[in-house]
Amino acid sequence: MNAINRFPFGPNGAGSVQLSVVVPFYNEREVLPLCLRRITGVLFNMGIPTEIVFVDDGSTDEGSEVLSFAAFREPDHDEPRVRVVRLSRNFGKEAAMMAGIEHAKGEAVVVLDADLQDPPELIPAMVHAWYQGADVVSMRHRQRDGETWLKRASAHAYYRILQRLSRSPMPVDTGDFRLLSRRAVQALLQLPERCRYMKGLYAWIGLPTTVITYDRAPRAAGRSTWSYGKLIGLAMEGITSFSVAPLRWVTGFGMLAAIAGGGFGLNIIGKTVLFGSDVHGYPSLIALVTFLGGVQLITVGLLGEYVGKTYIESKQRPLYLVRDILQPSGQPVEKAA
């Protein structure tokens, strides 16, 4: 089947880009040359016009320079064109991905990690699924090599919780490795929120989705730039950005606590009336007061999470700022305004 006819968006003459590969990176100098070579190797054999859009998410290790050294010459017609979108600072992976997706020109866009944990060799299979009619091809990992059991276990639990919370079915065990058709990209670009939890957004779009299972490789080099702090932040973001269920849980818990407390009070009054006054239970009182105090603080924190989110959304700031875009000449061609 010919992909060209399926897409109402944009002119699609000869030579226009069919497939864009978006690679967000942050301080990945060690892997970038290898990354570029592997992706180029795969794209070269595909026989369609392709491009690679690297997004430098404010790296402090001259990653872009490494890339420019390796890549910036005018490509032969079968080779992918390479561009590097440099953001003005580190905006985080979610924003970097959006920057890449927005700058991609292809009829399909594949998002890939720079550390080669998502094997570029799978791109042809993803493109095949797209030709078969999928708008979103998500890649589900079978196992997580080279990661600690703690990270594996927490990731597992987290995906399950998320699954239960979300109204839109969310594919379990998928990362950001994904192919999006132009239609899916267009849909994604319509969602205006600042707090972008990409996995949730992909699920929300809800276009025909194909899931491909693969083995996630260990990092090719360098270290994961995610700290547990950042991961917990992202997890909170994920849950609070498309579900208010936690607010309902604490309301439910508050009701239960109120009923239990009321019952307990009635019990004490009854006992006092029938058997006379008898003061007991100082330790249990302290335990109960601290416990309820803790629950209240958690609830306030949770509420704050949602209020904070509203605040951030209300500012309507751009998701990221582009410093410049490097193209084959090796010179920055577009300076950010």
122 touches ligand UDP by CB under 6 A: no
106 in contact with ligand UDP (CB under 6 A): no
- Which single residue is written with the structure tokens 């226009």? 16
Single out the residue of 59, 117, 174, 210 in contact with Mg ion (rule: CB under 5 A): 117
Q: Name which of 85 and 302 has its Cβ closer to ligand UDP.
A: 85
Token reading at 8: 């109402």
Binding to ligand UDP, residues 191-230 (CB under 6 A):
224-226
Handedness of CA 177, 161, 202, 195 (dihedral sign): negative
> Between residue 7 and residue 26, which ones bind ligand UDP under the rule CB under 6 A?
24-26
Q: State which amino acid sits at residue 248.
A: R
Give kind and range of the element (H or E) at residue 179.
strand 174-181
**Helix H or strand E segment including 216:** strand 209-216
Enumerate residues 6+ apart whose C-beta is below 8 A from 230: none
Nearest to 130 by CA among 175, 92, 182: 182
In terms of CB distance, is 28 or 173 closer to ligand UDP? 28
Q: Binding residue for ligand UDP (CB under 6 A) from 51, 102, 107, 115?
A: 115
Minimum distance, C-beta of residue 142 to ligand UDP, in the bound complex (Å): 16
Residue 57 or 324: which CB sits closer to ligand UDP? 57
- Minimum Å gap between C-beta 326 and Mg ion is 24
- 53 contributes a contact to ligand UDP by CB under 6 A: no
Three-class secondary structure of residue 109 per DSSP: strand
Name residues whose C-beta falls within 8 Å of residue 223's C-beta, 6 or more positions apart in sequence.
Answer: none
Note the residues at the interface with Mg ion (CB under 5 A): 115, 117
Binding site for ligand UDP (CB under 6 A): 24-26, 28, 57, 90, 92-93, 96, 113-115, 117, 224-226
